[in-house]
Amino acid sequence: MNNYKLSVKEWVEKTNAIGLRATAGRYGGTYAYKDIAFEFGMWISPQFKIYLIKEFERLKAEEQVRLGWDIKRNLTKINYRIHTDAIKLNLIPSELTAKQRSVVYATEADVLNMALFGETALEWRIKNPDCKGNMRDYANVSQLVCLSNLESLNAVFINDDISQDERLKKLNAVAISQMKILTEDATIGKLTDGESEVK
């Protein structure tokens, strides 16, 4: 019962408790490990308990939104490795310097950017000087799903020795088709809004 009287000092003395202590004096007070403090708070006040549960639910919902976003972003990064490997094996002669190779990678990244976003990374940075990161960090879930698919397709096109110009045309057509489907898909909309389907 929460009307039972027992001081912190008595509690510590009688139970050899850890994670909880009381000190006297000017800078004294009662100190507890957070889980113990929450337990006491919920024991003392039903209102505090409700606030704590609500805050926990809010944080879990926020975590799910962030987790879903991270999964999509990381999927894009994983597929990008497939993409860069195809570039390395098919488009970069061995005698190029590291700097020259980075130019080839950036050019191919911009093939994907142009196909999906309609602009290069540099063009986006010029338009958005106050934004940190790159254009992909600001992409929505539908765009990241599409980008992941484009990376895989471009790797196949590179391996098939299709020219960059032709690849760009093909990738742009795929991007238009997929984005139309993805933006009309209610499930993708729920992911964007942080909702999840329960089955």
Report pLDDT digits (tens) over 79-131: 666 667 777 777 666 677 778 878 888 888 899 999 999 999 999 999 999 98
Report pLDDT digits (tens) over 26-61: 878 888 888 888 887 887 788 888 888 888 878 877
| pLDDT score, position 113 | 93
- The domain ranges of the chain are 8-44, 61-193
Report pLDDT digits (tens) over 125-178: 999 999 888 888 888 888 888 888 898 898 899 989 999 999 999 999 999 988
Give 69-77's long-range contacts (Cβ < 8 A, gap of 24+): 69/141, 72/141, 72/144, 72/145, 72/148, 72/191, 73/136, 73/137, 73/144, 75/144, 75/148, 76/136, 76/144, 76/147, 76/148, 76/151
Handedness of CA 120, 116, 79, 65 (dihedral sign): positive
Answer for the pair 116, 153: CB distance below 8 angstroms, yes or no.
no
CA distance 191 to 98: 39
> pTM here?
0.51
